[in-house]
Amino acid sequence: MRKKTQLIHSGAAIDKNVGAMSPPIYQASTFKQNGVGNFTYEYSRTGNPTREALETLIADLEKGKRGFAFASGMAAIAAVMDLFQSGDHILITDDVYGGTYRYMTKILNNRNIDVTFTDSSNLGEVKENIRPETKAIFIETPTNPLLKITDIEALADIAKENNLTLIVDNTFNTPYWQSPIEHGANIVIHSATKYLGGHSDLVAGLVVVDDEKLGEAVHFIQNATGGVLAPHDSWLLIRGIRTLGVRMEEIESNTSEIVEFLVNHPQVGNVYYPGLPDHPNREIHAKQSGGFGGMVSFTVDNEEKAMEVLNKVRYFTLAESLGAVESLISLPAKMTHASIPRERRIELGIEDGLIRLSVGLEDVKDLMEDLQQALD
Ligand SMILES: *Cc1c(COP(=O)(O)O)cnc(C)c1O
């Protein structure tokens, strides 16, 4: 089955009871048992048929063994981190999502789990940072907001040699373009709030694992800690995922036109996009992913100029988040990455005049005219 077909027909696509084309929303906390211990569903924290329809769908799409739905991307990340114990050490991509950075440095540290931020696009640096107590590597590729690329397959080899779990946050590229498990990852995480939901109307997180044992461990944590996605939101997310293919295709073509426009604009400095010929890891990305995605960052002279652009745009909405039908614009230094100290931020290349776009589904001519008038 090809990707677009899979999006429509995977998971429990048609309800078994009455043939409903849209899965029923089982808005129930508990279920009648046929006798003590004789049941399919017991209690909705442990398992809910609507959530399970979503969990099966994402497991299929990510080519994994089992899927799990959580109340947010951060709840999904926290649940995966519960796999690790006091004394463990974890390697993490240096420019991860700000909320992930905050979780790793403010919560995980308190549990005596040490983390090292490393440039995961540099495999030599990753190897140097592996210690005897290292248990996992957590990466994003492409990263946010500088669109750095890590070679998943090469990193998976390093992980295997050292007996480490490879965790990939696949939020930016989505399973429509990129399947980390096929390249050797063990766990895939999503903020489904972004492209998978796709309509700025829900907050959700997903986890997919590549083997049964990990599946049992994550299910134990999901049930024990309880950050589950509600039935109605599970249904809404299934609905969003059905159109992921057409959305990602259209976003891809809109973004490539916008990138070309930005590269040629005199007020624009650097443009960060994995599809650009001068992107250092363009070939690696093209090898492991079918598309370059809808996220692009660029610099203008300084923060003042960036603020001016943000104030002048009409179709790009100033907002956090990404991946929805509407185009969004943001200033990472002041918004998504504000929790990272300035010194560290600049070190990472997230300058004060860096603008991030999440390209949506408006007519690309309107989007380009909008940027044109804001930049000029
Ligand atoms: C938004 C985001 C998260 C956090 O997800 P929430 O749904 O906001 O909790 C994690 N990783 C990435 C890459 C994100 O963009």
Cite the beta strand spans of the chain per DSSP E.
Answer: 66-70, 89-93, 114-118, 134-140, 165-169, 187-191, 205-209, 271-272, 295-299, 317-318, 328-330, 354-358
Q: Determine the residue of 139, 194, 339 to mutate for testing ligand 1's pocket, defined as the one with the most ligand atoms within 8 A of the Cβ atom.
A: 194
pLDDT band of 16, cuts 50, 70, 90: confident
Q: pLDDT digits over 216-252, tens only?
A: 999 999 999 999 999 999 999 999 999 999 999 999 9
104-157 confidence digits (pLDDT tens): 999 999 999 999 999 999 999 999 999 999 999 999 999 988 999 999 999 999
Residue 171 Cβ < 6 Å to ligand 1 = yes
DSSP 3-state of 297: strand
- pLDDT tens digits, one per residue of 163-199: 999 999 999 999 999 999 999 999 999 999 999 999 9
**Cα 192 to ligand 1 centroid, rounded to whole Å:** 8
| pLDDT tens per residue across span 349-358 | 899 999 999 9
At 76 the pLDDT is 98
Confidence of residue 6 (pLDDT cuts 50, 70, 90): very high
Mutate to test the pocket of ligand 1, among 104, 189, 191 (most ligand atoms within 8 A of CB): 191
Q: How far is the CA of 74 from the centre of ligand 1 (A)?
A: 6
Residue identifier of the C-alpha nearest atom 5 of ligand 1: 73
73 lines ligand 1 (CB under 6 A): yes
| DSSP 8-class letter at 111 | G
Task: Give the distance (Å) from ligand 1 centre to CA of residue 97.
Answer: 7
- CA-nearest residue for atom 6, ligand 1, is 73
Helix, strand, coil percentages for the chain (3-state, nearest 5): 40, 15, 45
Give Dmax over CA atoms of the chain in angstroms. 73
> Which residue type sits at 121?
S
Q: Does domain 246-375 have CATH number 2.60.40.10?
A: no
Per-domain residue ranges of the chain = 3-242, 246-375
Return the pLDDT at 174: 98
Q: What is the pTM of this model?
A: 0.96
Distance 81 CA to ligand 1 centre (A): 15
Q: Average pLDDT, whole number, for the chain?
A: 95
Burial of residue 344 (CB within 10 Å: 0-12, 13-18, 19+) is middle
* Top-level class of domain 3-242: alpha beta
72 lines ligand 1 (CB under 6 A): yes
pLDDT in tens, 335-350: 888 877 889 888 888 9
Task: Decide: helix, strand or coil at residue 101.
Answer: helix
The catalytic site residues sit at: 45, 97, 169, 194
- CB of 95 closer than 6 angstroms to any ligand 1 atom: no
Instruction: Please choose from 193, 237, 297 the residue to mutate so as to test ligand 1's pocket, defined by most ligand atoms within 8 A of CB.
Output: 193
